[in-house]
Amino acid sequence: MIGIKKVTEDIFWIGGSDRRLERFENIFPIPEGVSYNSYYVADEKNVVFDTADVTVADQYIENLQEALSGKKLDYLVVLHMEPDHCALISRVASLYPDVTVVGSAKTFEFMGQFFPESAEYKKLEVKEGDTLSTGKHTFSFVAAPMVHWPEVLMAYDDMSKALFSADAFGTFGALDGGIFADEYDYDSDFLDSSRRYYSNIVGKYGMQVQAVLKKAAGLDIQMFLSLHGPVWRKDLSYLLEKYQKWSTWTPETDDILVVYGSLYGHTASAAEAVASKMREKTGKTVRVYDASGTDVSYLIGEVWKCAKVVIMCPTYNGGIYPPVEAFINDMIALGVQNRTFALAQNGTWAPVTAKLMSDKLALLKSINILEKTLTIKSALHAKDMVEVEAFAEAVAN
């Protein structure tokens, strides 16, 4: 069975990995690739959970047909209507015209917008608490609105104790032959990608994730089957702990993040000096990024990890340097909380960005903006190191 992976004796992964797509949602760089997971359950009635993205269409259809091997497809359960998972619904329905498509009321509303022909599908509308029995398996549906679309469902299988979790517990990253998280060094291979995936795509919806985590706590879950990334069958508490922190905006580490903008390198040099002093004074890991050269999604991932964020910005057209402003705007859009910010500014005749950045950051909840700021006039010199020292001291304390 080329391309098909066994999850349990009668649950199979039939998805595909894409290593050619440059940007997920045409926004987020994914040099690590991405997987699109779909699951087939062989039972008295055969069921498939979600389809896949158009970029892996040929591989997906080949896997689906091989898995069924001429058998009838009874149900297509649609947990999430985002196009990276729903793109092939119409194609599957045309191959298996007797299939019953299962989803929420909102699912079918969205389906009609993407696929007008879905008006003719055989449909089964379900909501939280409803069940679908396929023989040995009974799937109970759990509503997960705004994790991260309003129609999202999850499905809990009382036989395998698996939670088909839609986009929750997913990650960027193609699968390198294995489908289980324990087949990888997860911290090395997936953790940064998982954090970047969560913070940029789901991060805004922490309260909704918390609501789903509370529902999950009442279930005997032995596996997470997400729509992206590997299947979890061991150490689920590890991933749940990460989600608990991420969804409550709790820093994972005491690391310090330094993000700077620099036109000609002077603010960059100052950032390196500040980072060095902060490392000396705190003994903590300090991570330094150029806002112009780093995609903002990586910066957001680091914000979700680090407790303190230092932003160093030159004045540009009387305002905030655009790459730095884009970073701040993204934090506002994603509702960052529970962080300490320290601000530094540079300007040859009108350094004003500390106040401008502070006014923007004040829109965030439960944050601390240090009163102590650092001002650089054009370039950092030896005489400025006293102020650099005081700024680093303020961040350290």
Topology of domain 256-396 in CATH is Rossmann fold (3.40.50)
Closest CA to 6 of 190, 167, 160, 194: 160
Q: What is the CATH number of domain 5-247?
A: 3.60.15.10
φ and ψ at residue 308, rounded to 5 degrees: -125, 140
Measured between alpha carbons, how far is 312 from 345 in angstroms, rounded to an integer?
6
* Res. 252 pLDDT band, cuts 50 70 90: very high
Measured between alpha carbons, how far is residue 179 from residues 60, 231, 275, 354 in Å? 15, 6, 39, 47
High-pLDDT (> 90) share of the chain, %? 98
Q: How far apart are CA 367 and CA 388, in angstroms?
A: 23
Average the pLDDT over 268-273 and give the result: 96
Q: State the average pLDDT over residues 318-343.
A: 98
Task: Please tell me the predicted confidence (pLDDT) of residue 2.
Answer: 65
Would you say residue 397 has pLDDT above 90? no
Every domain of the chain and the residues it spans: 5-247, 256-396
pLDDT tens-place string over residues 17-46: 999 999 999 999 999 999 999 999 999 999
Q: Average of pLDDT values for 345-357?
A: 96
Q: What average pLDDT does the segment 375-383 reach? A: 94
pLDDT digits (tens, 9 = 90+) for 157-188: 999 999 999 999 999 999 999 999 999 999 99
Closest CA to 356 of 367, 365, 345: 345
**pLDDT for 284:** 94
State pLDDT tens for residues 42-69.
Answer: 999 999 999 999 999 999 999 999 999 9
